[in-house]
Structure 1
Amino acid sequence: MFNPTRDQVRNFFIEAWRKQRAAEPLSAMENMAVDIIALHPEYQPVLEDPDAIAREFSPDDGQINPFLHLSLHLAIAEQLSIDQPPGIRAAVATLQLARGNRHDALHEVLECLGETLFNAQRNNAPPDGAAYLECLRRRAG
């Protein structure tokens, strides 16, 4: 299984954004990342900062880690592309209808994914796909 370091993840997003701005060819995964970055103009200056790889983003300081946020978006995009866990596409479609905006709906998914990953780590267990989908259904109302 691929288990990149923090710096590798950060470099992936920085390099994908650099290639986009330079009009260089992108891989399929880089295209997905660039589409997500385009939805987050507030993070683009960070991706253009040469010191961003080493920068700390502390929630204690009220900072959102843009690399974590983008990574979770990318994970969700991959989940939707293969409908894994089964039913996530339908759950997200329902959530999107409820929110009226795809990006807002995806941020709700991001919250559920974060909760699911937190619980898996806390319980030293694999992520619970059924609980993840239930979280999405609850948020859709």
Structure 2
Amino acid sequence: MFTPSQADVRRFFCGAYDLGRRGLPLEPLQALAYEWIRQHPEYHAELADLEGALRTMANIDPARDNPFLHLSMHLSISEQCSIDQPSGIRQAVELLAARRGSLHAAHHEVMECLGRMLWESQRSGRPPDGLAYVAEVQRRATAG
């Protein structure tokens, strides 16, 4: 299993942004990342400065989104949907996207569910509960 470091993640997203904005060829995962990056222009300045991104790794500002975490969650959800793992996540995200009229908006809601599942797993010391995660996304997709 590949476990990238925080610096690896920052290099990946900054590299994908650099290649994409210059119109250079992208690997499939870079292309997916670049599509999510394009939808987040508020992150472009930070992604354009790899050295700055690496320097600020230890600076955590709770009042501000971490663009690397945010984009990583978009990629995680995209990958989960592509392989339908946990089972049912693809359909739940598709339903939520149809309900919200936007895959991007749906992803942002799914991020809340994913974050909660991971937090509960860490807090309890148990494996992540994929069934509860999918159920929460389904609830959001079908709520009145």
TM-score, structure 2 length as denominator? 0.92
User: Is 1:33 aligned with 2:33?
Assistant: yes
Deviation at 1:136, TM superposition (A): 0.4
- SS in structure 2 opposite 1:25? coil
- Deviation string, structure 1 residues 39-59 (Cα, Å, up to 9, x no partner): 111111110123012212421
Gaps of 5+ in 2: none
CA distance in 2, matches of 1:102, 1:21: 22
Q: CA RMSD in A?
A: 1.1
Paired residues for 1:26-105 under 5 Å: 26-49=26-49, 50-55=51-56, 56-59=59-62, 62-105=63-106
Deviation at 1:20, TM superposition (A): 1.0
CA distance in 2, matches of 1:17, 1:3: 21
The answer to whether the 8 Å contact 1:17/1:37 transfers is yes
Paired residues for 1:121-132 under 5 Å: 121-132=122-133
- SS in structure 2 opposite 1:109? helix
CA distance in 2, matches of 1:93, 1:81: 11
Aligned residues: 139
Give the corresponding residue for 2:11.
11
CA distance in 1, matches of 2:42, 2:10: 16
The answer to whether the 8 Å contact 1:92/1:105 transfers is yes
Runs of 4+ in 1 over 2 A off after TM superposition: none
The answer to whether the 8 Å contact 1:57/1:64 transfers is no
Deviation at 1:125, TM superposition (A): 1.8
What code does the residue aligned with 2:16 have?
A
